[in-house]
Structure 1
Amino acid sequence: MGSERQQRMKALGVRLRGLRAEAGLTGAVLAQRAGVGQPTVSKVENGRMVPSLDVLRRLTLALDLDEPTTHEVRDLLAAVEAAPDADETIGDEAPAGATLDDAVRSARLVRSFQCVVLPAMLQSAEYARHVFDSAPNATPEAVGRAVAARVERQSVLYEPGRESVFVLTEAVLRTWPGNPSLMLAQFDRLLAVDSLTTVRIGVIPWRRAVPVMPRHGFTLCDRRAVVVETFRGERVLDDSAEVAAYEETFARFEEAAIFGIEARELLLRVMQEFRELEDFTTR
């Protein structure tokens, strides 16, 4: 039968699939109207993924649901989130990072502040592998699937009409998994992404005081939701007052950061330090 959480996920998926059928839409058309990936629609309808509040909102709008039905679907999601489950693993049922990745994919404006780990959309495959591997009860197979999905979702960075702003503390650049070679490849990716006209990468140097003591990283998806990553999972906040507070906090971090040539010079300096570290460790 599966866990109670899995059963409620399936119930939500069945209901959404039925509503789509009633609307006479294919999964592909619904995904296009909602601005989400077709795999997201498929996974949600088959009870293999819990949609974020933002993704669910987009689906309900695309289905043109009336208010009572919208509330019904939201209640089904709330029941999923409230259901007990012994595992918060990286798997097909509730992949760690999936909520964040799908929320980012469906947003036209993404603003992410991180103080320890690189933003999901900037991670190289090997860096992401270490991130997913550190999740509770991770398995090699599940980690591989999660990494592949994350890399695939990063293609939105190259789509016109989107805007992404990333602000990191210098500590993020110096908090590294694996080995120096992994980080050298990661810096190559950061420099390549920073050259895109749709992306801005800012860094708060360690020599500059932070305007607010950071307690955790967060990602703003449009102006409607905030995704906060924790050790055990993800939290999606869509209360307008909370979103506004996070927007104000992001603006303060953004103001303290350096961008453009200054940021690239800092990236290159830290990258050189990793080259020197690599030389030292391979002697």
Structure 2
Amino acid sequence: MGSERRERMKALGARLRGLRAEAGLTGAMLAQRAGVGQPTVSKVETGRMVPSLDVLDRLSRALDLDESTARDVRDLLAAVAAAEGSGPSAGDATGVGAAVDEEMRSARLVRSFQCVVLPALLQSAEYARHVFESAPHPTPEAVGRAVAARVERQSVLYEPGRESVFVLTEAVLRTWPGTPALMLAQLDRLLAVESLSTVRLGVIPWRRPVPVLPRHGFTLCDQRAVVVETFDGERVSDDSAELAVFEETFARFEQAAVFGDEVRELLLRVMKEFRGLGDNLTR
């Protein structure tokens, strides 16, 4: 990360920290008001994370900023983006999966549909490493930091009061980076996560027709936002009409999926096939 960008990130964080102090709020209070995670507030204020525009607007509303001050804060964010070398990078997690990670961290109910890549909250460290290595201009140090941040965020799966519902096509289980051994570890993680009381994991088997032809993945965060994933990025929408469409679409995918024992049997069957594939590759 360039020094200019780093300084601008620190300036944005210092400004937000000062505004929070003026409002008489602690970091935890601001996080609760804004509907984001407390670590997000801390990282933004210390210049270690660039907030999305959506998160910045939430913080501004929670701080009850007037239009002039809110515009000044947005200008500081724009200055970060304009700094040399400010393109999305794995190092500060502003690239692949950033919007999904942030929205999931602040939601009490997460519903995610994926048709190619595993949801961020379910990825093993090695799987996530391949995801971040596919970002533009990755470096080993940047990828390492991004993987660590993603794994840390997965702690929300274990928090009481949260619910996470994941629906995958069987193609997700069979679209694999790296080696069969990587996927065996990843599938083993899915088995462990599926057993959590806070998680529902569903898979649409290949033998069942999909109710809607999937073009991309998406994640519903509570009933306030949807993160829509595309080949080269993500966008966050809180448009009520668009949310309604994605709510209905997720319900149809969920209805087509299998859960519980059927999912565990499917995962074990796919794991057996990966073991066989691994044996063939080593001969």
Q: Same fold (TM over 0.5)?
A: yes
1:24 alignment partner in structure 2: 24
Q: Distance in 2 between matches of 1:8 and 1:220?
A: 32
My pick for the range that moved more, 2-11 or 38-47, is 2-11
In the TM superposition, residue 250 of structure 1 has moved relative to its aligned partner by: 0.9
Residues 88-167 of structure 1: pairs in structure 2 closer than 5 A: 88-92=88-92, 94-167=94-167
1:261 alignment partner in structure 2: 261
Distance change >3 Å, CA 200–CA 29, structure 1 → 2: same
Q: Distance in 1 between matches of 2:77 and 2:224?
A: 18
* Matching residue's letter, 1:162: R
2:271 alignment partner in structure 1: 271
In the TM superposition, residue 23 of structure 1 has moved relative to its aligned partner by: 1.1
In the TM superposition, residue 118 of structure 1 has moved relative to its aligned partner by: 0.4
* Matching residue's letter, 2:188: D
1:182 alignment partner in structure 2: 182
In the TM superposition, residue 267 of structure 1 has moved relative to its aligned partner by: 1.1
1:227 alignment partner in structure 2: 227
Distance change >3 Å, CA 89–CA 102, structure 1 → 2: same
In the TM superposition, residue 70 of structure 1 has moved relative to its aligned partner by: 8.2
For residue 220 of structure 1, give the secondary structure of its aligned residue in structure 2: strand
* Matching residue's letter, 2:125: A
Instruction: Answer yes or no: is the 8 Å Cα contact 1:88–1:233 preserved in 2.
Output: no
For residue 272 of structure 1, give the secondary structure of its aligned residue in structure 2: helix
In the TM superposition, residue 142 of structure 1 has moved relative to its aligned partner by: 0.5
Q: Distance in 2 between matches of 1:189 and 1:19?
A: 42
2:71 alignment partner in structure 1: 72
Aligned length: 282
1:215 alignment partner in structure 2: 215
For residue 201 of structure 1, give the secondary structure of its aligned residue in structure 2: strand
Instruction: Answer yes or no: is the 8 Å Cα contact 1:54–1:224 preserved in 2.
Output: no
1:49 alignment partner in structure 2: 49
Distance change >3 Å, CA 85–CA 201, structure 1 → 2: farther
Distance change >3 Å, CA 93–CA 168, structure 1 → 2: closer
In the TM superposition, residue 83 of structure 1 has moved relative to its aligned partner by: 5.2
My pick for the range that moved more, 47-56 or 153-162, is 47-56
Distance change >3 Å, CA 135–CA 144, structure 1 → 2: same
For residue 117 of structure 2, give the secondary structure of its aligned residue in structure 1: coil
Instruction: Answer yes or no: is the 8 Å Cα contact 1:115–1:214 preserved in 2.
Output: yes
Q: Distance in 2 between matches of 1:83 and 1:219?
A: 29
- Counting aligned pairs with the same residue, the percent is 77
In the TM superposition, residue 3 of structure 1 has moved relative to its aligned partner by: 9.6
Instruction: Answer yes or no: is the 8 Å Cα contact 2:15–2:73 preserved in 1.
Output: no
Q: Distance in 1 between matches of 2:60 and 2:210?
A: 40
User: Cα deviation per residue 1:229-278 (whole Å; 9 max; x = unaligned)?
Assistant: 33433221122222221111111111111111111111111111111111
My pick for the range that moved more, 35-44 or 263-272, is 35-44
Structure 2: which 5+ runs fail to align?
none
In the TM superposition, residue 102 of structure 1 has moved relative to its aligned partner by: 1.7
What TM-score, normalized to structure 1? Answer: 0.87
Q: Distance in 1 between matches of 2:6 and 2:115?
A: 33
My pick for the range that moved more, 12-21 or 124-133, is 12-21
Q: Distance in 2 between matches of 1:238 and 1:3?
A: 34
**CA RMSD, aligned part only?**
2.9
User: Cα deviation per residue 1:70-108 (whole Å; 9 max; x = unaligned)?
Assistant: 853785488479858763221238353233212101100
For residue 203 of structure 2, give the secondary structure of its aligned residue in structure 1: strand
* Matching residue's letter, 1:211: P
In the TM superposition, residue 42 of structure 1 has moved relative to its aligned partner by: 2.7
Q: Distance in 1 between matches of 2:15 and 2:239?
A: 25
Instruction: Answer yes or no: is the 8 Å Cα contact 2:96–2:131 preserved in 1.
Output: no
